[in-house]
Structure 1
């Protein structure tokens, strides 16, 4: 039987300050994602894009949350759309847009599982709150919000909080963490594989450990893949690049191992910014990684 995948685009650029990431879903589609996945005998339905409101002009400077209302409203819509996809028995595949969209993705997914796991494939922890964030950009708070930490208009999306437990999270590829995030990781006991562990253990061992860890304690796993998790040489079109990242080949191996594990029940690919890219290279990388995640093989 064909696996049914529903694509949801979220052209969000209000969770951060660099323009262009709202064109990420279009760039991913232009890179041939539908055709590539259909070639894997997958049934694809593209549901189009979530509507994003306008920027809040005097944006919430008093509470250090930029564009709070617009980000919250878009994530409410996304959570509802993702929830509907699950109710139809389809796999939600979400294209960003900045990483603030994970708030809605996880809110829509988590209600369908007792113990949702999350693989956060990212250079950053996105575990800031209004109190700890140096920038006030909500894309750096999305994982904290999913843990129930943050403004009530964000944490309450979907009608419940928290969405996930700290022990059900695995962060892979971290190499830029703020002080508040480091403190929270230690307080909550969140499992993190920094680039040190990837370099020292190798990606095979890291993914083996992560898969085994999540299989023991979760009944579904959401993959949240930020393209800045990869090294900027391989994925230049991102808003917050950090040198020394995961390689293209290591990322394919990670996706291939996740496919073999049958662990992933929903996924999002975020932070593709065509304005900062080189001839749509980053969107093409995203599509290639989706190919591996859904079973594409050389032979």
Structure 2
């Protein structure tokens, strides 16, 4: 029996992604409605649903940084944090639906303005790069670095709150892009880094125990889970913008998430990057909804 109410927050932004097809903007902005259509909201019996409409999609590239949509994304993150801040007093589990994973900026800003929080970041990529290393300029590929205070000040220091999460309070889990230049920034940081190979070699439960021990030792007030669905095996979730072979099975994901969402310090969980246009018959979405529902029933 679920012990906590669930509030859903919908942040349908696609500002963090580069447009790959000139005739179609990235479809992740339809993710909340798509999950609703496949029964997520009803099955979770959400008490409240909050939604913040994003600015119109664009491809405004900042010079000289090369970052896309800096001003629009910064403004959206501030408004996202304001909306969330008004609800953090409620003793509910916050399920935060993107959009692309730039939603992490607004979520962690809201938490920073309240207390000291940890972050368990599940993603098939590190998202810990700076603009000069980005091949796309998309903020969605830099979101973890931004949350940790690394990158352009217009994104990293909103409301003078840099960093939104201290690097040593972050676990970055599930990356399977092993290119040396790509992983170098996160390896040089104080982030606790568990790529997919390490997760499997050392085991899930020891990793979870290390995260919770860090939470206790640092006397943090709570933690947020970030789930980018491209952390899943590509055969299970191909409806993402940046596909790669391998990835977590649903059983592995459940083992991770159940231990986290059932913990008293879990504030909530973000889910991002599912593109409905890449799953036209909804088969991959329906499976995701089933598994998320099962996991959240363990709270």
Q: Distance in 2 between matches of 1:13 and 1:68?
A: 13
Where 1:94 maps in the other structure, the secondary structure is: strand
Shift of 1:162: 1.0
Q: Distance in 1 between matches of 2:210 and 2:232?
A: 20
Query: Following superposition of structure 1 onto structure 2, how do residues 78-157 of structure 1 map, counting pairs within 5 Å?
Result: 78-114=80-116, 116-157=117-158
Contact 1:128 1:180 in 2 (8 A): no
Q: Distance in 1 between matches of 2:135 and 2:288?
A: 28
| TM-score, normalised with respect to structure 2 | 0.88
| TM-score, normalised with respect to structure 1 | 0.88
Q: Distance in 2 between matches of 1:72 and 1:177?
A: 30
Q: Distance in 1 between matches of 2:57 and 2:35?
A: 24
Q: Distance in 1 between matches of 2:132 and 2:34?
A: 34
Query: Following superposition of structure 1 onto structure 2, how do residues 1-299 of structure 1 map, counting pairs within 5 Å?
Result: 3-18=4-19, 19-38=26-45, 44-47=47-50, 49-114=51-116, 116-176=117-177, 181-217=182-218, 218-277=220-279, 279-296=281-298
Shift of 1:76: 1.4
Contact 1:24 1:273 in 2 (8 A): yes
Q: Which runs of 5+ in 2 are unaligned?
A: 20-25
Shift of 1:61: 4.7
Contact 2:7 2:93 in 1 (8 A): yes
Q: Which runs of 5+ in 1 are unaligned?
A: none
CA-to-partner distance for each residue in 1:208-236, whole Å, 9 max, x for gaps? 33333334323211001000011111112
Where 2:9 maps in the other structure, the secondary structure is: strand
CA-to-partner distance for each residue in 1:88-128, whole Å, 9 max, x for gaps? 444322101001111111111222222x1100000111111
The corresponding residue for 2:23 is none
Contact 2:262 2:298 in 1 (8 A): no
Where 2:106 maps in the other structure, the secondary structure is: helix
The corresponding residue for 2:22 is none
* Count of residues paired in the alignment: 291
